Structures are given as C-alpha cells and as structure tokens.
Homo-oligomer: A and B are copies of this chain.
C-alpha cells in the first residue's frame, strides 16, 4: 500500500541528530554529537528520595489526570523564579510543557498558519527548525555575528518578506554556535520586531549554565509591548528524561497554547512536574546549578584547550551552554570531515543540519562537551585534529 502524507510531512526527514543518537549509543564511539547533559549533573539521589516521598504521600494525585496548564505549585515556583530575572509582565501566564520543545511547537502553531514565515538565526536549533517545517511554516534565516543577530539583516527581512509571524531566537549561549547576543543587540531586535508586529519566541534552555559571568538580561525582561514568548526548560539543570519545560507569555497567547496542548497530550506527566517542584521546595536549585556550572565550565575549558592544541579550525569559545562551534578553514562544507570522523568513531554534528535552508552548506560544525568524559574530550579532539 502506498500512503499519502500531509504536504509538510511528505519531505521532512528525522532530525539528523536524533538519528546520530542511535549510532553514538555504541560504546566504542566518542560522541561530541548529542546535546545531552552529563549524567554526573543529575541530582539522582535527591530525586530518588523525593520520588519515594511522592509515592508514599501523593500517589493518587500523581497517577490521576491533571490540569492542562500544569501543576499549580510548579507553575507558581517557575513564575517566582522568573520574576527574580525580571521576566514576566502584568497579565502574563506560565504554563508547563512537555519539554521546551513542546513550548516552541505550541507557540508556533497557535501563532502561524501553514505558509507563514518564521525568521531564525543562521545557524539555529534543528529541533525548532524541524517543528516549524513539520507545520508547513517557511524558514527565513537572519545573519549572525559574534554579537548575535545582525540588526540590518533582520530589518531587511522584516521589510521585504511577506507573512512573517515569528522570530525564533536562542539569544544566550546559542545552540549551535554558543554565541550570546549583546544587550545592545537584544534592544535592537526587540525594537525591530515591535515595529513590524512580529512575535519573538525567546528560547533559553542554557541561560543558567554561564561560565564567564552572567549573560545579559533576557529579551523578555525588556518587553514593554507583550511581544515576547519566553520558553524555558528543566532539561539542562535537572533532567531531560522528565520532559519538563515551560512557557511564560501574555495570557491571550498562553491560553491558546493550553487549548492546543489539550489536544496534544492533555497535560505533562504529573510525576515529573511534582518531582521538579519538590526538588525546588526541598533542595537549593541554585546550589545544584552552581555544581552543574562548575562541571561544565571545566569541560568547556578542557575542550577549548584540546582544540587549541590539536585542531586547526576557528573555534568560538562559548560563555556558557553545552556547545562549541568550529569552522574549517579551507573548505565551504564540513560534511566530508564529518564522514571521515565517523569512520574514525568520532561523532559530532555537521553544521549544515542547523541551516534554515536544507540545501545549504557550511564549514561549521558543532562539538558538545557536556556528555563526553575528560579522556574522550582529549582523545576525540586529537583524532579530529589528525583528520584536518
């Protein structure tokens, strides 16, 4: 039987990274490919202890259906936490989502119809790009430099491209480049989007993981017009397997998100929500984050040093997050390098998968430093260096 699929799904391929994940689970592969946090950063013991308490005291609650908006104590805790970063305006509402991924997806699908245009950084997070594609949205890349989105490129798109509904941005420790948008640029981007009536989806999964001082305030914290949808995540600071994220946005938008979420998964796993709340209530999340930071700071430095020593490529040293972006010097396309590395059992992600244009090529590549061991970082980068 030949099946007919929806127009956007007909051509869409699985994320190259999720597919790589299958290869990199082989034990003899050194993987810089995933975006996984280190298992050493999971508060496993604390979560195990809290889990026992939850099953002893509120099993009937966590096993039953819950509200689509999320577990109220967790929503309140997130809202309070965001308030300390000046995130959240009068009339905003926080809803819990099944990972930040769902927050991005829901925001896009309540705001856009098939054929509408989403602006994004070039390169950008493939998980977001693919979800936009899966809904038939068109992607238009905007240039970045070391300070983030280039305002001239953004304004040129805003002026000339019809039906732009959203700018999707990861302004802090961006995935894949590690670049952080400067304060000045954040102000310019916000002003331009307000001028042209475009909603900003600000995706901030890495903001807590800073290694060289605090990043600039969130774009959302400067929003006076109510045009920023802020998406956050517990994946990088507690656990990704729990699938917990959140959206903080003006209530008219979050109310639509709730309606769409009802039809998508009814609500996010209650056990995950209660567990995260209990962790925030009974342990010091900031102290835990500080430990994650120290671990990743060291790994970032290790990888930067190994690259300086072995790898003849331009490297952007990220101020936070989980990724280091490299650019090959004597080629336009990193795909051949990627394939030769896989042959040598070293995996990373070729930069082209992060491009809004699926036919585009780039000499860039992404290296993850949170997941590999210290030894693997040294050995893997040395192998990569030998291939250049």
Q: A residues engaging B (CB < 8 A)?
A: 1, 3-9, 12-15, 18, 21-22, 34-37, 39, 42, 44, 47-48, 51-52, 55-56, 59-68, 98-99, 101-102, 105, 109-114, 127, 130-131, 133-134, 136, 165, 199, 225-227, 235, 239-243, 250, 252-253, 255-256, 258-260, 262-272
Q: Which residue of B lies closest to A263 (CB)?
A: B131
Q: Of B18, B48, B111, B226, which is within 8 A of A262 by CB?
A: B18
* Neighbour of A241 across the interface among B66, B127, B131, CB < 8 A: B66
For A42, the chain B residues whose CB sits under 8 A away are 59-60, 63-64
Closest to A128 in B: B263
Report the bound CA distance from A263 to B64 in whole Å: 26
- On chain B, the residues within 8 Å of A110 by CB distance are 5-6, 9
| List of B residues within 8 angstroms of A67 by Cβ | 18, 21-22
Partner of A3, one of B7, B21, B250: B250
Is the beta-carbon distance between B239 and A63 smaller than 8 angstroms? yes
Provide the bound-state CA to CA distance between A348 and B13, in Å.
44
Residues A64 and B265 in contact in the complex (CB < 8 Å), given A9-B259, A51-B52, A272-B271: no
A256 to chain B, nearest CB (A): 5
Q: Is the CB of A260 within 8 A of B134?
A: yes
Using CB atoms, name the residue of chain B closest to A58: B44
Tell me how far the C-beta of A130 lies from the nearest C-beta in chain B, rounded to whole angstroms: 5
Asked if A263 meets B6 with Cβ closer than 8 Å, knowing A21-B67, A42-B60, A63-B241, the reply is: no
Evaluate contact between B250 and A7: CB separation under 8 angstroms.
Answer: no
Q: How far is the CA of A270 from the CA of B165 in the complex (A)?
A: 34
Known A127-B266, A267-B243, A269-B243; judge A111-B5 contact (CB<8 A).
yes
Q: Which residues of B contact A260 (CB under 8 A)?
A: 9, 134
In contact, B263 and A127 (Cβ under 8 angstroms): yes
Residue of B nearest to A61 (CB): B241
> Of B34, B39, B258, which contacts A60 at CB under 8 A?
B39
B residues in contact with A131, CB < 8 Å? 263-264
A326 shortest CB reach to chain B, Å: 23
Sample (24) of A-B pairs whose CB atoms are under 8 Å apart: A3-B111, A3-B199, A8-B113, A9-B110, A35-B65, A37-B64, A39-B64, A42-B60, A51-B52, A64-B240, A65-B240, A98-B243, A98-B264, A101-B263, A101-B266, A102-B264, A113-B114, A114-B114, A127-B266, A131-B263, A134-B259, A240-B266, A265-B265, A271-B272
Minimal beta-carbon separation of A15 from chain B (angstroms): 5
CA distance A6 to B115 in the complex (A): 11
9 tightest Cβ-Cβ pairs between the two chains A and B: A48-B55, A131-B263, A44-B59, A63-B239, A241-B270, A98-B265, A39-B60, A269-B269, A42-B63
